[in-house]
Chain A
Amino acid sequence: MPRINNRIRRLRFDNNEMTQEALAERAGCTRQTIIALEQGKYVPSIELAFKIAKALGAKVEEVFQYE
């Protein structure tokens, strides 16, 4: 089954070890959502995916990959 993977954890650490709290605040979601995303338990909407990519200073396809 195809799934969407992400590199949020990796990119957080590349961004001066940004905390989940800080990323959540910048992306406009809860910390629990960031945790769920990093664990691969939740797939975000396109809007949230773009917000997270912007908060991490990356392109959306650098953060999320469809396999």
Chain B
Amino acid sequence: MSYNQNRLIRLLLLIVMSILGGWAIVSDNWIFLIPIAVVLGVVPFLLRKRIKEIIVDERVNTIARRASRLTFVVFVILAVVTGSVLIYLGKEDHDLTFNIGLTLNFAACALMLFYWAAYFYYNRKLGGKE
């Protein structure tokens, strides 16, 4: 199976499952969401294993790594700046603005902590320990 065929099948699957999911929510048949979630989780994984051609190599991984790092940095900066402004604006009333600001700042902190934990782990795993 080629990558393009695989992509088309996954797209069709997503469309069909989205329609079924929408129908399940509208008609209050929430139980149908479970098999839909299972199908959406398992089938694309099985389909991906059937691809013969190489679609991921070190260059793709390098791109993904750089994109992830840029996304991380941009998100943290934006979250901290926006969060701080919102905290300042809502400091009198402690209203929703204040809480959103706090949430954004805590999210940025949690992300940085997780980053350092992951960095520490990979540093040890890849031989950074003396």
Contact = CB atoms under 8 A, between A and B. Distances in A.
A25 interface: yes
B28 interface: no
Nearest to B61: A45
B124 to A, nearest CB: 22
Determine chain B's interface SS by DSSP, over half rule: loop
B57 interface: yes
Interface in A23-42: 24-25, 28-30, 32-33, 36, 42
For chain A, give the interface size range.
10 to 19
B39 to A, nearest CB: 29
A48 B58 contact: yes
B8 interface: no
B19 interface: no
Contacts of B62: 42
B55 interface: yes
Interface of A: 24-25, 28-30, 32-33, 36, 42, 44-45, 47-48
